């Protein structure tokens, strides 16, 4: 019988451990770790995400600093705010919510964040350290995926992992994390030939391609572990105002073949915020010259 991987339960466990670490940090240093989140514009999904992140930060006992800027904010204005946050001793982590308005160069903003406060793990210095196997702040979503995989499978050595998607946010760092766990990794993308055949040979499939239910059930090797990073809204059915949320994997089909699979929603999503809190706690320890807790 296929196991449904409960991302909510795993995230709650991580958040509990982070909260314990925050309390110890406060007792030792005399302050709580601080996370600054910057939102430019009024994108509805981004607004919801920022609200969730702020709530989770406070629940963990951290300081939350939310900066909401108008859509017409210039790149220079945003860079000035980032610089102030870099210099603020109360701020251990900085997250600039993506996407940004068209007039702002995302790469320039991400590269302006102090790498020691880059809790999204997107700065080129952290990306480079991850690529060569050095200690770094790691992007939250792929690290959450790795946590779920290790919870489910334990040792990943020698397993064949297929990562579908090559973004800097998920696909590439996911592959690097799996390589560091001694998995054999294949990265697939829109120009990959015979993707179903590659999937059928994989012990682990991580789908992060952004196409609703692209990965079909007959692509899955019997007993494989499937991590679905995608979140897509289908067109609404007749009489309804909103369509169903689905992942990049056709869940019902894949669940007939997989040994374990994440649902959408309730799988990878909750882990992203949990790992953001984890990264903020790690960054706070490193900035204070303390040994970071194992999380």
Catalytic residue positions?
A: 53, 97, 120
CA distances from 234 to 35, 206, 247 (A): 34, 21, 10
User: Cβ distance 204 to 249 under 8 Å?
Assistant: no
Cα dist. 128→108, 115, 137, 179, 187 in Å? 17, 11, 11, 14, 18
CA–CA gap between residue 220 and residue 131 (Å, rounded): 28
| Count, residues in the chain | 295
Sign, CA torsion 164/167/168/170: negative
- CA-CA distance, 93 to 184, in Å (whole number)? 33
Q: How far is CA 25 from CA 15, 52, 274, 276, 290, in A?
A: 15, 23, 18, 17, 9
Q: CA–CA separation, 248 vs 212, rounded Å? A: 5
**What does the alpha-carbon distance between residue 49 and residue 44 come to, in Å, rounded to a whole number?**
9
Which string of b and e fits 2-16 if b means at least 16 CB within 10 Å? eeebbbeebbeebbe
Query: How many Cβ atoms are within 10 Å of 293's Cβ, its own excluded?
Result: 16
Could you give the CA distance from residue 132 to residue 12 in angstroms, rounded to a whole number? 31
């Amino acid at each position: 019988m296929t196991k449904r991987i409960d991302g909510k339960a795993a995230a709650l466990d991580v958040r509990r451990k982070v909260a314990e670490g925050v309390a110890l940090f406060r007792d030792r240093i005399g302050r709580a770790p601080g996370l600054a989140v910057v939102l430019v514009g009024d994108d509805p999904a981004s607004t919801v995400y920022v609200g969730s992140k702020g709530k989770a930060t406070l629940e963990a006992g951290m300081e939350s600093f939310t900066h909401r800027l108008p859509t017409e904010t210039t790149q220079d204005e945003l860079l000035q705010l980032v610089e102030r946050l870099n210099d603020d001793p109360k701020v251990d982590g900085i997250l600039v919510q993506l996407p940004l308005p068209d007039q702002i160069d995302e790469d320039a903003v991400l590269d302006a964040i102090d790498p020691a406060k880059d809790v999204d793990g997107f700065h080129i210095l952290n990306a480079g350290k991850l690529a060569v196997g050095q200690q770094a702040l790691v992007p939250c979503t792929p690290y959450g995926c790795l946590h779920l995989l290790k919870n489910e499978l334990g040792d990943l050595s020698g397993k064949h992992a297929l990562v579908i998607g090559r973004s800097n946010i998920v696909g590439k760092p996911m592959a690097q994390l799996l390589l560091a766990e001694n998995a054999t990794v294949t990265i697939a993308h829109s120009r990959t030939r015979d993707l179903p055949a590659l999937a059928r040979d994989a012990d682990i499939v991580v789908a992060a391609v952004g196409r609703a239910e692209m990965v079909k059930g007959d692509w899955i090797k019997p007993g494989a572990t499937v991590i679905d990073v995608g979140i897509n809204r289908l067109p609404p059915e007749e009489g309804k105002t909103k369509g169903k949320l689905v992942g990049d994997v056709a869940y019902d089909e894949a669940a007939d073949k997989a040994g374990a699979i994440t649902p959408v929603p309730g799988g990878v999503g909750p882990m992203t915020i949990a790992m953001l809190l984890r990264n903020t706690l790690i960054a706070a320890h490193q900035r204070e010259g303390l040994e970071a807790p194992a999380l």
